[in-house]
Amino acid sequence: MKKIFITHCSGTKDDSLKNTGKMVTPDVFYTSKRMRAFIKRCVNYKLQWAVFSDCYGVWFADEKHQWYEKHPDTVTDEEYKKLLEDFNHKLKNYDRIYFYYNPARLHKLYKKLLEETALKDRIIKFNRVSDIEKGTFDV
């Protein structure tokens, strides 16, 4: 069974990358406590992981991108359609998609994505990163 752990992006980023054009992986780019904890556990358990970016769509752990600033409130209908297509396309070969989120900060854009994706039957949402440690997901 092919599995991936994914979380939504964060507004907390490494500001030193701004306007440098430097290409980095998401573990370097995102600096929030939530993201750091998620990435650390995925790496420790050797799990495949990604971030859902408002700008790039599904951003796999080994992909490099430049700095961006895109708040989910600014995503247009056309951009949303592209993000949804990207999500469906890049994750179509996964049997299980474990989506980590903070219930207090789950933006309506991500709720909509999770409801409208063609892959919704494969998604298991969780909101405690410690569930990865406890083996809740049979990692």
Q: Is 128 among the domain residues?
A: yes
The arrangement of strands across the sheet holding 96-100 comes to 57-60, 49-53, 3-8, 96-100, 123-126
Tell whether the torsion through CA atoms of 120, 139, 101 and 104 is positive or negative. positive
Q: Residue 63: which CATH number?
A: 3.40.50
Name the band, by pLDDT with cuts 50, 70 and 90, for residue 12.
very high
Q: Considering its fold, how many domains does the chain have in total?
A: 1
pTM: 0.93
pLDDT at residue 51, as a whole number: 98
Please state, in angstroms and rounded to a whole number, the distance separating the CA atoms of residues 52 and 109: 11
Q: Is 139 among the domain residues?
A: no
Please state, in angstroms and rounded to a whole number, the distance separating the CA atoms of residues 100 and 37: 11
pLDDT at 139 over 60: no
For residue range 24-71, list pLDDT tens digits in order. Answer: 999 999 999 999 999 999 999 999 999 999 999 999 999 999 999 999
Q: Is 28 among the domain residues?
A: yes
